[in-house]
Structure formats: structure tokens, C-alpha cells
Amino acid sequence: MNDTTRTAPPVAAKRPSTAIHHGIEVADDYAWLRDPGYPQVEDAAILAHLEAENAWFEARMAPHRGTVGALFKEMRGRIKEADRSVPQKDGDWLYWIEYEEGAEYKKWWRRPVAAGEAGDAADQLILDEPALAEGKDYFRLGAIAVSSDGTRLAYSVDDNGSERFTVRIKDLATGEHLPDTIPGTLSALVWVAGDTGLIYSLANEQWRTDNARLHWLGQPPETDVELFHEDDEGFRVSASLSANEQWVILATGDHETSEVRLIPAADPLATPLLVRPRRKGVEYDVDERDGVLFIHTNDTHENFRLATAPLAAPGEWTTLIEGSDSFYLTGFDLFRDFYVVEGRLGGLDRIELRWYDDPARIEPIVFPEASYSAGLGNNPEWHMEALRVSYESMVSPASTYDYHVAERRLELLKVQEIPSGYDRELYVTQRLEIPARDGTPIPVSLMMRKDRQAPGPLHLYGYGAYGIAIPPGFSTTRLSLVDRGFAYAIAHIRGGDDLGRAWYKAGKLESRTNTFTDFVDVAKGLIERGLTEAGRISISGGSAGGELMGAVVNSDPELWGAVVAHVPFVDVLATMLDPSLPLTPGEWPEWGNPIEDRAAFELIRSYSPYDNVRAQPYPPMLVTAGLNDPRVTYWEPAKWVARLRELKTNDSELLLKTNMGAGHGGKSGRFESLKETAEEFAFILWQMGVAP
């Protein structure tokens, strides 16, 4: 049976399976959908079921392929296909990236600073992604790092979505690759010891980076030296260079605790200097200038402070910037003559310049709109006179600025070009506050056309986990809904850190359900304000945001007109009960450990979307999965859809699409991924009854 002729949805076989935890029996009739040989998926019955679901997806979407095509053409028309970034100086070179007309992937270029505007003759192509991706169904560039002397390029590639990257090293003078090849990495690449060595991390069998390793150029990877090994299975190791490039910063941590060591970049085999031993619940990150450590930490205030310490006594921290209830200090960057603090004030991004020799001198960079997203861009040099800054809002396309420090002046360098046209004056953006059921005001960023008729269709997006804020940024694809009468809203629900660390804590562990009820209460508040109606709200979220989708369709199915759940983390209980899975131990600080803690078990069981599917009507749903996804394994959405098909009491649309050659991010390439967005929007328009 081909993809467009299937006449009924597949029904997964029920194979009873039970497990006992804390004296409670948990039944799972669809546990068989997990291949015991994972990450290899070779079970014929499992593959046949996934292919049958894909065939049902194709059959149901077949009448709407015209809409998908039209939306894709529309979305592609908003992308400047032949485009390049603003060049940035790093040492003796100017670096930029460039897309050619029709290309899925970008090319990496540089030119000697001394060549000035000499033209193409001086330009050097250092990495050709389209050539590397040729003939591959999936391609993703991981890390990329030019040696400090500018002669070599280290980079890593994943060509199947498994997030295991292979490192290669290229001689930039000859264009030839060195024989060095390092498979199985999952990390940044850090040049050390006069560019004779490279620090990286391998992913272990559970996709955990529990190590930092040193590779000497020209030596086989089997002889690489392990500089550090992490024994806590929940922690991940990473390496980076200090801003002055004198130190390798080896960091290890989970979602709530961290620990940092320093190694001289010139002598990577030296004994690492421990900054301060880990203490549960204390996070910190470090940089160094002139023998002084700068430490960003939450040890005395949940919204973080900035402290200093002498290199000779790295654990003796003295406050430089106090923690604040109002200002959430998210990070800092050191430069030769000044440093930059980034954070959020009232939920809005703030960038402040500060001076080492004048603590009272604080210069914020001022932006024009009431709601926006802004941050430091690529500023690679120790001595910077102009800072590269990025800026956008829900109605303002992405812009690149240089902030001239001495003049306190923003210089606009580039505005995202939309070839098919975009008139900012047709749209309006607002920032609302909608009370949750416990009285907490929940911020909502909203965009719509000025001529929109209310109440009308509305799309509501949310995430709400890991302390990840969702900025009110610009999206060209979003216009395909907004121009068809939708309002587009982002719910800044608890579980993200949009309003500071307390906002994050109020949506994790025992407070997890606030995330779900906040989202529902925002939807009801938007209805009460006359912006939309029950059943005319489409919603979407991915990964942990897909868990959000699963929770709210169980609790309030009547509110939603269409639901899109991308690689949804919906089998929360079973995943958190299985420490052999790639990410589980590192996730316990976020969700709780149901193996050891009965209260955590009962709480997760009470909201885990898969475990709470019940006999009731469900809204139309499109669910996606990736066969090679190591973060949300393919069987979570597959099991969820199987249980939904079994128990839902209405005939609403339910589709599962599994990318058989991709991972957590879906298809690679800027246009291939755009096709998936076009499918998503076509599904929403179809189910919401909005003319395409």
C-alpha cells in the first residue's frame, strides 16, 4: 500500500507489560515499541509500525499538499537565499558566513584584514558545508574552531542526527585534511599548546560527556590523554577558553550544581586548578583577567551575583555586583578595558558595560522598543573598541549593530532582508500580563496585524522548562499564520527563567504542574480579553514543550483547535525510571528521581502525559519524532500516539510523522526544515478551518 492510499490509521498491537515501583503497579501495553537494541532500531515489527504511521500521515496530508507547497513557497520567498553575515575581525582575518542561491547549507569565508576591500581575489573559503553534505540525507556541523595562528581549522560533523560528531582538521594553506580523525565527539573544540593540541569530549554509550580529552596533532586518537573524568553520571563536562585565551576552563555540572577547573592553555597537561568544590544547588562559571578570577554564581542570591577572587586563592570570593530581586544576571564577558554584564530586568534583555577601574561607571545599551530580544553577538578579540550586538522584536527583523564604546553609539550594520516584502507598520506587538489561577501574573508576548478582526484564530506557543526563556523575537515563518488572521502569542510560563531564577524554580520538581496550568490560564485569559475563543486556539511546543502539549490536551482538550507536538517528552515516568537512557540521571534535578523518591514518583505519575491519556475527546494533533533522536527517544511519541488512538472517544485527526533519518531537530538544511514548518502550518489551517 503506498503512502497516499492507506484508508485507516494503524493500530499498534497491545502486549501487556507491568512493572512495580514503590509497591505500585505500572502497566504499559506499548512498551514493546522500544527496540531492545537501541540505538540500533532493527525490530521488523517496530519499523513496520512507524512506516505505517508515516503512510497514514502521507495519506491524510495528501489533499493538502497544495497548501503545503504554497506555504513553503511563501516562507522561502521571505528568505534572502544569497546572503552573508557581517564580517568580523579576529586577529589578522575577517570572518563571515555566506549562503548561495538555493543552498541548504552555508559556506565559511575569511579574508586578510590587510587586503581591505580588495575583492574576491583575497577571499578564502575555509569550510564548504554544501560539499560536505552532498549525497547525505542529514548533515549538521557541530563545533568549528580556527587555530590561534590562523593556519588550521578543526570542525566536527554529524551525518545521521545521532549527535555523535566526527572531528576533522584542515590545513587552511593547502586545503588538505590532516590524517587526524576523532569519531564520537559531542563538544566544543579548543586549541591549546601553541596550536599543537586540541581538547574535546567524547560521548559515552549513554550520550554523556563525562570527560575532557587532549589530542596531539599527528597522533592516533587511541593515544589521546584524558585530562579530566567526571564520575557523577548526572554531570556533563565541557571545555572553553578564557576571554584572554590564557586558560582552558573545564566545567562540569548538571541542572543545578557546577564545578570549574582551570588549566594553562600553554601547558594542558598541568595539574588543573580547582576554583571551588561543588556544592549541591550552587552554580558558577568563571573567567580570568590579570590574575583575577571573575565568578558568576547563585551562591548568595538565586538571581546570581558577580564576584572576584585572586588566582592564588580561587575559592575566596568577594562580591563585585550584588544579587538582585529585580535584575536577573544571566552572564558576563570580559574584555581588555571593560567588561559586559547581560541579564533581564522586568523580563526584558539588558546589556551593561562596566569598567574595572571605576565600579560606579555603568553604561547600559539603550534599545528603542518596549518589548524586544537583544544580546552580544560574536566578539572574539580581547581588545574590542566596538561590540557586535544583535537585536530583534516580534515585529522588527533581526538586526546587527556595532556599539562604539567610546562614543556610546549604536551603528546599524545589517537588517534581515525579506525579499518578498515586509511592512512593519501593518503589525502590532504587545506585552500582556494574565493572572494564573494562584494570582501570579504571567507575561505574554503578542503579535498580530493591526487590521485583525477579534475574536479570531490564535496560535499560542510555550516551553517552560530548564530555565530557558523564550525571547519575543522575529520569525518570518510566523507571518504565514499572522497574515491569515491569527494572533501569535508566546506564554512566558513558569519553568523558564524569563523573570529570573525564582520563575524557573516555580515550574520545576514539586512545582512542575504550574507550567501546565499557567499555559491553560493564559489561553483562558486571552479568551476573556476577546482575542479568541475556545476551540480557535492552535498550540505548539517541542521536546519539554511537547510534554506541555501532552499535559494540556489531557487537562483541557476543549480549548484547542489544533495541536502540534514536536519530538514530545511525554513518557516522563518511564524515562525518569530508567537510568540507562542517555539523559536520565542528568534530568533528575529538573524533574525529580522517581526511583529513590516515592513523592517524585507519584507527582510525575500524576502529570506524565502518556500515563494520563484517558477516554475523552481529544483535539486534532500532529506529532513528530526522530528515529535517531538521543534526547527524546522515538518510542515516546510512538507509544503516546498508540495510546491516544486506543482511548480517545472522538474521530479528531491524529498523525505521527517519524523522521527515519534524523534526530531531535528534525531534518537538516534551511529549506528541508522549512518544508516541515509548512506541513505544520498546513495542518493547523486545515484543522482550524482557516482558508489557506
What residues are labeled active site? 543, 629, 664
Q: Which of 329, 240, 330, 339 is nearest to 290 (CA)?
A: 339
* DSSP letter (8 states) at residue 333: E
Please say whether the beta carbons of 527 and 556 come within 8 A.
Answer: no
Residue 221 phi/psi, 5-degree rounding, is -60, -20
Is residue 33 within 8 Å of 49, Cβ to Cβ? yes
DSSP string, 122-175: G-EEEEEHHHHHTT-S--EEEEEEE-TTSSEEEEEEESSSSS-EEEEEEETTT-
Sign for the pseudo-dihedral over CA of 36, 40, 43, 47: positive
Q: Is 389 helix (H, G, I), strand (E, B) or coil?
A: strand
Closest CA to 242 of 310, 152, 332, 343: 332
As a 3-state breakdown, the chain gives helix, strand, coil percent values, each rounded to 5, of 20, 35, 45
Q: Report the amino acid identity of residue 429.
A: T
State which H helix or E strand residue 674 sits in. helix 670-688
Is residue 79 helix, strand or coil?
coil
Could you tell me how far CA 91 lies from the centroid of its own chain? 30
Q: Are 514 and 506 in contact (CB under 8 A)?
A: yes
| Cα separation, 551 vs 542, whole angstroms | 13
Angle separating helix axes 670-688 and 65-77, nearest 10 degrees? 130
Indicate the helix (H) or strand (E) that contains 328: strand 327-334
Cα(304)–Cα(331) distance, integer angstroms: 9
What is the tally of helices (H) and strands (E) in the chain?
12, 39
Kindly provide the b/e burial profile for residues 63-86, where b requires at least 16 CB atoms within 10 angstroms of the residue's own CB. ebeebbeebbebbbebbeeebebe
What 8-state DSSP symbol labels residue 222? G
- Measure the CA–CA gap between 57 and 679, rounded to whole angstroms: 11
185 close to 165: Cβ distance less than 8 angstroms: yes
| HEC-encoded secondary structure of 352-388 | EEEECCEEEEEEECCCCCCCCEEEECCCCCCCCCEEE
Helix (H, G, I), strand (E, B) or coil at 241: strand
Phi and psi at 362, nearest 5°, equal -130, 120
Q: Which residues contact 222 (CB under 8 A, 6 or more apart)?
A: none
Cα gap 165→186, rounded to integer Å: 6
- Cis bond upstream, residue 455 (ω within 30): yes
Residue 458: closest CA among 391, 385, 529:
529
Cell 530586568 belongs to: 345
